[in-house]
Amino acid sequence: MIEVSEIRKTFGSVKAVDGINFHVKKGEIYGLLGPNGAGKTTTISMISGLLKPDSGSITVAGIDIGGKSGQIRKRLGVIPQEIALYDELSGRENLHFWGSLYGLSGKKLREAADRMLELVNLTERANDNVRDYSGGMKRRVNLCAGLIHDPDLILLDEPTLGIDPQARASILKIIRDEATSGKTVIYTTHYLEEAENLCDRIAIIDRGTIHAEGTLRELTELAGEEDVVTLTGNFKSGVTKEILSGLRIDHLEDGMVRFYVSERETIGMVLNKFFNSGVSIENVSIKEPSLESVFLRITGYELRD
């Protein structure tokens, strides 16, 4: 359905997107998981036609969008990271506005707007100004604005940013239903759980490139069998290295050490050795192989909300 090859975008000296490749099949939800500044929005903007890539190509249903983006545009639905609604208009008026930009009019437009409002449970508040909506309600209308023309390819850029769990669950369910009905979805997020629970395939994006890609299972296999152990306390480099000799240390500083173990018993032994050498441990965290540990291994840092 969509094929992205070797796209790049530089802003001054910043390589925002530095050679990204992926393809997404019809009916698939493809996740771009990465921290702030990874290049997610820039990638989405190049697909939606808002930004022109410096190089590389993007084809949708076999058509290069470089040349004929107008034709393709109506088949795309874009849900931007920044909420794109008029505060002084009602939710319904906003949808009428967006629907008309996508070429809907008259009865078709009104019916599409009503169907969308019903879908996100906002029928009763449809005539209130968006100004008076909660963050979650705005996000839901923002979602509708990108879906109202029934697009085949849906681009969602962090559509659940900063909303409550119920609104998030309802948005994720709608996206899942769209994919089930054959729509193709590209979904960016910095929430690990969303990538895990929603996406059929996930790309880990950081510093403008994709570092790993696959299904959740394929990615967690990359993490291997080892648990990641993080200890906080008061460590001295010499004695810590001695205690952890034979284990792979990922990170060591005065207040924190992170290492990998393949057997759980090792953790108890290590803690004992620290105790016997008078090192006080404040906190112990053990993580099984997961998307989180793959992320950590690939990027070298934890993805925090």
Tell me, by CB under 5 A, how many residues bind Mg ion.
3
* Residue among 4, 16, 192, 291 that touches ligand ADP (CB under 6 A): 16
Q: Closer CB to ligand ADP, residue 142 or residue 240?
A: 142
Residue 41 binds ligand ADP (CB under 6 A)? yes
11 touching ligand ADP, by CB under 6 A = yes
**CA angle in degrees (0–180, nearest 5) for 34-37-40:** 55
Using CA atoms of 85, 87, 92, 94 in order, give the dihedral in degrees to the nearest 10: -30
- Answer yes or no whether residue 45 interacts with Mg ion by CB under 5 A: no
Residues 103 and 91: their CA atoms lie apart, in Å, by: 19
Distance (Å) of CA 26 to CA 43, 65, 112, 148, 202: 19, 17, 23, 19, 15
Among 36, 181, 245, 276, which residue interacts with ligand ADP (rule: CB under 6 A)? 36
Q: How far apart are CA 221 and CA 219, in angstroms?
A: 5
Residue 42 contact partner, candidates Mg ion, ligand ADP, none, CB within 5 to 8 A by sort of partner: ligand ADP
| Rounded distance between C-alpha atoms, residue 282 and residue 217, angstroms | 33
Decide: 206 and 256 in contact? Cβ < 8 Å.
no
In this structure, are strands 248-253 and 281-287 parallel, antiparallel, or unpaired? unpaired
Shortest spacing between CB 45 and ligand ADP, in angstroms: 8
224 Rama sector, left if φ>0, alpha if ψ -120 to 50, beta otherwise: left
Q: Which of ligand ADP, Mg ion, none is residue 301 near (CB under 5 to 8 Å by kind)?
A: none
Taking residue 238's Cβ as centre, other Cβ atoms within 10 Å add up to 8
Q: End-to-end CA distance of the chain, in Å?
A: 31
CB of 189 to Mg ion, least distance (A): 10
Closer by beta carbon to ligand ADP, 104 or else 199 = 199
Asked if 155 touches ligand ADP (CB under 6 A), the answer is: no
Closest distance between ligand ADP and the C-beta of residue 37, in Å? 4
Give the three-class secondary structure for 298: helix
Using the minimum distance from each CB to ligand ADP, give the nearer residue, 41 or 220: 41
Taking CB under 5 A as the binding criterion, the range among 6-14, 38-46, 177-185, 249-257 that sits at the site for Mg ion is: 38-46
Beta bridge partners of 155: 78, 186
Specify the stretch interacting with ligand ADP by CB under 6 A; choose among 38-46, 86-94, 229-237, 295-303: 38-46
Options 39-47, 90-98, 105-113, 125-133: segment touching ligand ADP (CB under 6 A): 39-47
| Residues near Mg ion (CB under 5 A) | 40-41, 81
| Residues near ligand ADP (CB under 6 A) | 11, 14, 16, 34, 36-42
